């Protein structure tokens, strides 16, 4: 990923910022500036997703490109957000065999990748199981 490409999407990557149609309420992620249902009758405004949802489907990446090779094995999932859209994201699990369709997940802020030892660090949103913290 190039530095400008990452920088342009920082708000979307860090804070799951998409858009919402003020006419029909449909939400979009990645953001769309035009509602395909309401067309000219609709207006889209920025919308920040809470990001909770559940896994629709997933795969376990065991052989990754160089940028992700140190993180294997990891789970890459399509997640149905409570607020509408489906997003693709990495699910952080200690044991990748725990991944399940229907698993509830919540967003966390993590390193997505780095450009080598001296390049920029890419941060963004990953997901973890949405389970209550244990009673201490």
**Contacting residues toward another protein, per CB under 8 A:** 10-11, 14-15, 48, 70-71, 92, 94, 108-112, 121, 123, 126, 133-136
By beta-carbon proximity to another protein, the closer residue of 61 and 92 is 92
* Least spacing, CB of residue 127 vs another protein, in Å: 12
Query: How many Å separate Cα 63 from the centre of its chain?
Result: 21
CB of 132 to another protein, least distance (A): 9
Complex with another protein: residue 3 or 56, whichever CB lies closer: 3
CA distance readout (Å), 58 to 17, 33, 104, 126? 23, 29, 13, 14
CB of 112 to another protein, least distance (A): 7
**Closest CB to another protein among 20 and 126?**
126
End-to-end Cα distance, the chain? 42
Q: Residue 99, Cβ neighbours under 10 Å: how many?
A: 19
Tell me if residue 4 falls in helix, strand or coil.
helix
């Amino acid at each position: 990923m190039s530095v400008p490409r990452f920088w342009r999407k920082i708000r979307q990557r860090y804070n799951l910022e998409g858009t919402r149609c003020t006419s029909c309420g449909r939400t979009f992620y990645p953001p769309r500036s035009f509602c395909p249902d309401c067309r000219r009758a609709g207006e889209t405004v920025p919308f920040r997703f809470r990001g909770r949802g559940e896994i629709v489907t997933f795969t376990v990446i065991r052989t990754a490109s160089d940028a992700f090779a140190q993180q294997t094995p990891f789970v890459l999932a399509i997640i149905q957000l409570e607020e509408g859209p489906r997003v693709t994201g990495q699910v952080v699990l200690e044991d990748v065999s725990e991944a399940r369709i229907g698993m509830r997940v919540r967003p966390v802020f993590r390193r997505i990748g780095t450009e080598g030892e001296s390049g920029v660090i890419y941060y963004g949103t990953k997901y973890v199981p949405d389970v209550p913290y244990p009673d201490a």
